[in-house]
Structure 1
């Protein structure tokens, strides 16, 4: 029973008590904080799962829209290719046209004859003269009728 041994035992006992208190404190904090942290983590997990599902739905919608746009683009391309082939066939038809007889210039001018023009002038002049006579006679009758 040495005093140095007693001091060492007291010091060791004090350290043991200190560590036991610390372990008890950590156990208490662990038992209090652990359920709260678990609940918080569970809520975060549920939120992440919901967000992941929403993102998956958005991706599926965008993929469907992309597929529709690809189908529309393919249809437009095929329609344009058909138009191009039609135009190419029309161009080929025009290119394959041959001249059977080359046209020749006429020796004299081709137009309606001078006799036809004179006859038309006489007819129009006669008609305008008769019309003018009727208008003059009508004006003369209306002016004499107004004077009475």
Structure 2
């Protein structure tokens, strides 16, 4: 297994980066849709149904598969011999930020269900603030991986 991971390391890394970019695009865009959905859309209108469709497709069609691929390729990188020194701080900060990103992904899924059930209680300002979460986590992840402190 380790020989396979070493032989395919750069392909796995490339696939990991592509899946991270896809996941991040959704994590940036879905809260933005929620801002407009919360502020400008009347419940049970045609526009409401259109927003619900866009949000569901983004979450299930792009973000879900991208997050799974990110985790799979990321774990392959973790198990590749010589790639992670667990005595350093950076793998732990990255791991914590990735877990935070995963929690945020699920939080967005719960909020999407609120819109679909007509029970959303959050306003656009809350979604604007939450829209900064993936940016902060991304900064932590990138600095952790590049600087390797």
TM-score, normalised on structure 1?
0.25
TM-score, normalised on structure 2?
0.25
Q: If you compute each CA radius of gyration, which structure gives the higher value, 1 or 2?
A: 1
Higher relative contact order (CA 8 A, sep 6+): 2
Structure having the higher helix fraction is 1
